[in-house]
Amino acid sequence: MTVTIYYKAACGTSRNALAMIRASGEDPEIIEYLDHPLSLAELRALIARLGIAPSELLRAKEAKAAELGLTRAAISDDALLAAMQAHPILINRPVVITDTGAALCRPSERVLALLANPVAVFEKEDGEIVHARHGG
């Protein structure tokens, strides 16, 4: 299975998702998007793959989002995409893409539904226990 994770090492949710991927036996491609910003075309393709609006990928709680006025209802998709391309910190994470689908994995256990062999039980960094759901 091919697994790609758009990742930020300082983000606990990203670290937990990556650990769940590795615990499932997968060796993912890790894209540290803050170090390697996505082009506008890559952002558009990622959003299309996720099947979401650009506003759903925006990390609205980042101070930069408010500073740039991106949380206003009237902001255009093109303006959001341009801001996320110029300031990758505005992209919510982690995003995981596999052969079976793609998702913004917040909470991190959303990644389990994308994996061929998810771990049955996983302990997150904070001690929370999550269980993979089978057949439903």
Give the pLDDT confidence score for residue 132 in this predicted structure. Answer: 83
Closest CA to 59 of 84, 36, 38, 42: 84
Catalytic one of 3, 11, 47, 65: 11
- The reported pTM is 0.92
Domain ranges of the chain: 3-131
* CA distances, 129 to each of 50, 89, 121, 126 (Å): 26, 28, 7, 9
Segment-wise mean pLDDT, segments of 10 residues, the chain, 136 residues: 96 97 97 96 97 95 93 88 97 97 96 94 94 63
So what's the pLDDT on residue 134?
53
Q: How far apart are CA 61 and CA 64, in angstroms?
A: 8
- Cα 121 from chain centroid (whole Å): 21
Question: CA-CA distance, 85 to 88, in Å (whole number)?
Answer: 6
**Residue 105 catalytic?**
no
CATH number of 3-131: 3.40.30.10
